[in-house]
C-alpha cells in the first residue's frame, strides 16, 4: 500500500468502482441464484491494466464505509494501485452492479444500484492533496461527469490541473446515457472534456452520438478541430481507426482487429483497448504500434468473464506482441 511518503503516482485515473456480481449461469437475473463477486469500473479497469504493465498508477474516488468499499480498496491495492486518494465516505454506500451471463458473446444485461453512491458525492475538494506536478498522464472517462454536478466539476478540475502541469490527457467517453438528464447535456459536457484531452478514444457508436457525424474520418476531424492531438476510434470486430498528429507527423489509418476463437464477454473491451493505446504511447511507441497493442489487449478482454481479468502483465504482453509481428 502506498503512503503519503512514497512518490506520487505518475498516472492518475478517477471515477466510480462498484462491487459487481456476475451470474454463474446464463439467463435473466430474476432466475439466477448464484453469483461471483468482482469489481467493475471503467477507470479502475484502465488503472489495473496500466499497473500490471509496470506504471505507477493512482486512483481518485470515494467508496462507502462498508464491506464492498473495503473489498474494492483491497482488490486495487493488491493490483499495485496507489489508493491514497481513495476516500471512505461514512454517509453513502458503495455502488453495486449485477451482470447476466450472455450466451455466444452477446452484450450482457446489467442492473445498477448506484444512485446516491459514495462516488456520486465526489467534489473538486477531493483533489486537493494530489501532487499534479508528479503526473505524467491523466486518464478520464465520461462516467464521473454523469454521476452528479459535483463529480462533473471534479472531472473538469482535474483535467485542467493535469493540462496545466504538462501531463498528457486521454479521454474515453464510456457513455452511460441513462445517467444523464438529457442527451444534449451529455453531448455538450463530454465534448467539452474531449476538447481538453490530447487523445480521444470513442467507440464508433459513441462518436456518432456525440458528434452527429457518421464516418470515422468525420468524427476524428470533429475532435481534432477542437484541439485534440489524436483520435482513435474503436470499430468493434473491424479493428480501429487512427487520425492525428503525434511526434510532428500527421497520420490516418485503420488496423484490423485481432481474431479470437470465442467471445465470452464484451464488457471491458474498450477499457482494455485504452490500456493498450495509452501504455504504448507512454512507452514512446508510434501510433501504428499503439493501435495494434490496443487491438491486442482488447481481444484478451473479450475472452474472459470479468471486466479486467484478461489484462496482461508486461511479460505476457511482450510474449504476445512477439508472437504477432507487425504486418
Band of residue 109 on the pLDDT scale cut at 50, 70, 90: confident
Q: What is the mean pLDDT of the chain?
A: 92
Phi–psi pair at 152, nearest 5 degrees: -65, -40
Q: pLDDT above 90 covers what percent of the chain?
A: 79
Could you tell me if 313 and 275 are in contact, meaning their C-beta atoms sit under 8 angstroms apart?
Answer: no
For 60, the 3-state DSSP assignment is strand
Q: Which residues are catalytic?
A: 271
Please say if the pLDDT value at position 28 is more than 80: yes
Residue 317 to residue 31: CA distance in whole angstroms: 39
The neighbouring-strand residues paired with 249 are: 246
DSSP letter, residue 246:
E
Could you tell me if 69 and 96 are in contact, meaning their C-beta atoms sit under 8 angstroms apart?
Answer: no
List the beta strands (DSSP E) in the chain. Answer: 11-14, 18-26, 35-40, 57-64, 86-89, 96-101, 110-113, 137-141, 168-172, 199-200, 230-234, 240-246, 249-255
Band of residue 244 on the pLDDT scale cut at 50, 70, 90: very high
Q: What is the pLDDT of residues 167-200, one digit of tens each?
A: 999 999 999 999 999 999 999 999 999 999 999 9
For range 232-249, the mean pLDDT: 92
Q: Strands 86-89, 96-101: parallel, antiparallel or unpaired by DSSP?
A: unpaired
Residue 268, pLDDT score: 77
- For residue 148, what is its C-alpha cell? 452528479
For 91, half-sphere exposure in the C-beta direction (CA atoms, 13 angstrom radius) is: 4
Band of residue 310 on the pLDDT scale cut at 50, 70, 90: confident
Residue 305, pLDDT score: 67
For range 250-278, the mean pLDDT: 88
Residue 325, pLDDT score: 61
User: What is the chain's percent helix, strand, coil content, to nearest 5?
Assistant: 40, 25, 35
Could you tell me if 272 and 297 are in contact, meaning their C-beta atoms sit under 8 angstroms apart?
Answer: yes
Out of 26-35, 220-229, 304-313, pick the least confident. 304-313
Residue 306, pLDDT score: 60
Please say if the pLDDT value at position 2 is more than 70: no
For 41, the 3-state DSSP assignment is coil
Please say if the pLDDT value at position 147 is more than 90: yes
Residue 231 to residue 228: CA distance in whole angstroms: 7
Q: What is the pLDDT of residues 46-74, one digit of tens each?
A: 999 999 999 999 999 999 999 999 999 99
Residue 327, pLDDT score: 54
Residue 264 to residue 261: CA distance in whole angstroms: 10
Please say if the pLDDT value at position 5 is more than 70: no
Residue 77, pLDDT score: 97
Q: Record the pTM.
A: 0.93
Residue 105, pLDDT score: 64
The neighbouring-strand residues paired with 233 are: 241
Q: What is the pLDDT of residues 194-216, one digit of tens each?
A: 999 999 999 999 999 999 999 99
The neighbouring-strand residues paired with 98 are: 21, 111
For range 85-112, the mean pLDDT: 89
How many CB atoms lie under 10 A from the CB of residue 264?
Answer: 16
The neighbouring-strand residues paired with 253 are: 242
Residue 156 to residue 135: CA distance in whole angstroms: 16
For range 14-30, the mean pLDDT: 92
For range 113-125, the mean pLDDT: 96
Residue 152, pLDDT score: 97
Band of residue 259 on the pLDDT scale cut at 50, 70, 90: confident
Amino acid at each position: 500500500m502506498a503512503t503519503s511518503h512514497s512518490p506520487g503516482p505518475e498516472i492518475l485515473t478517477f471515477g466510480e468502482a462498484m462491487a459487481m456480481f456476475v451470474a454463474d449461469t446464463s439467463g435473466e437475473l430474476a432466475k439466477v441464484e448464484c453469483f461471483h463477486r468482482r469489481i467493475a469500473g471503467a477507470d479502475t479497469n484502465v488503472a489495473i491494466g496500466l499497473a500490471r504493465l509496470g506504471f505507477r498508477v493512482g486512483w481518485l474516488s470515494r467508496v462507502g464505509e462498508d464491506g464492498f468499499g473495503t473489498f474494492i480498496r483491497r482488490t486495487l491495492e493488491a493490483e499495485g494501485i496507489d489508493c491514497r486518494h481513495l476516500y471512505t465516505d461514512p454517509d453513502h454506500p458503495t455502488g453495486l452492479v449485477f451482470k447476466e451471463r450472455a450466451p455466444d458473446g452477446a452484450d450482457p444485461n446489467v442492473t445498477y444500484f448506484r444512485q446516491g453512491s459514495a462516488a456520486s458525492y465526489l467534489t473538486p475538494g477531493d483533489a486537493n492533496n494530489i501532487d499534479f506536478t508528479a503526473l505524467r498522464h491523466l486518464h478520464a472517462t465520461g462516467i464521473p461527469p454523469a454521476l452528479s454536478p459535483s463529480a462533473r466539476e471534479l472531472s473538469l478540475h482535474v483535467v485542467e490541473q493535469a493540462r496545466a502541469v504538462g501531463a498528457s490527457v486521454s479521454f474515453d467517453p464510456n457513455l452511460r446515457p441513462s445517467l444523464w438528464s438529457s442527451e444534449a447535456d451529455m453531448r455538450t459536457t463530454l465534448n467539452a472534456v474531449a476538447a481538453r484531452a490530447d487523445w480521444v478514444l470513442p467507440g464508433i457508436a459513441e462518436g456518432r452520438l456525440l458528434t452527429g457525424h457518421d464516418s470515422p474520418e468525420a468524427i476524428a476531424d470533429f475532435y481534432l478541430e477542437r484541439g485534440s492531438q489524436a483520435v482513435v476510434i474503436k470499430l468493434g470486430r473491424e479493428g480501429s481507426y487512427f487520425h492525428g498528429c503525434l511526434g510532428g507527423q500527421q497520420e490516418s489509418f485503420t488496423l484490423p482487429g485481432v481474431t479470437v476463437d470465442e467471445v465470452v464477454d464484451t464488457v471491458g473491451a474498450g477499457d482494455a483497448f485504452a490500456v493498450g493505446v495509452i501504455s504504448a504511447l507512454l512507452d514512446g511507441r508510434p501510433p501504428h504500434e499503439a493501435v495494434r497493442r490496443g487491438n491486442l489487449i482488447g481481444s484478451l478482454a473479450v475472452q474472459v468473464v470479468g471486466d479486467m481479468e484478461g489484462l496482461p502483465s508486461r511479460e505476457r504482453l511482450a510474449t504476445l506482441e512477439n508472437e504477432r509481428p507487425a504486418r
